[in-house]
Amino acid sequence: MDDSAPDDAAPDDTGESDDTHLRHAFALAAKARARGDRPFAAVIVAEDGTTLAEGLSTQGTGGGGTLAHSEMNACQAVIAAGIPRPRLRRATIYSSGEPCAMCAAAIFYTGIGRVVYGLSAAAILHLRNAQPHTAGLSLSCREVLASAAEPVEVVGPCLEAEGAQPHAGYWQQDAA
């Protein structure tokens, strides 16, 4: 993905409740960073506003790999908790950054019906000063979920300036 290219969709408007949950994900991303992990987090919230699970990045303290992404950690938590699929279909995952293709697929397979994210993939790549060999897959969350058998609503990017705060200076340190 070309980090100078605009995101595949304009920023979406969110409601007050969405903004509150997304800001919580940003706060958790800062917490992940403070403990030595990458600054990403995700929160899964039921239709009634109940927090079902939180997932922080464990890329640092937990090593890395596929299960280290915050969305994967949150999805694993709701699966382990035995949350029924019909409840998850009406739930929203709030992600501090746009879920990667792997996480977007996991969100679908977990059964979550809605995604709200902060930083776009393009913004994350820009902050990381990513090079072609470190940029990852160029499929957006929206593209992956558009191919899903059951529709998954995608809202984002939202509150990007706030979402960038946990990343301030992080990627320069990481490169050193």
CA distance readout (Å), 114 to 5, 32, 57, 125: 25, 23, 20, 23
Contact 96, 166 (CB under 8 A): yes
Q: Please say if 98 is a catalytic residue.
A: no
Q: What is the DSSP pairing of strand 114-119 with strand 92-97?
A: parallel
> At a CB cut-off of 8 Å and minimum separation 6, what does 172 contact?
none
Chain-centre distance of CA 91, in angstroms? 15
- Greatest extent of the chain over all pairs of C-alpha atoms, in Å: 46
> Of the listed 54, 71, 150, 153, which one is catalytic?
71
Q: Residues with catalytic annotation?
A: 71
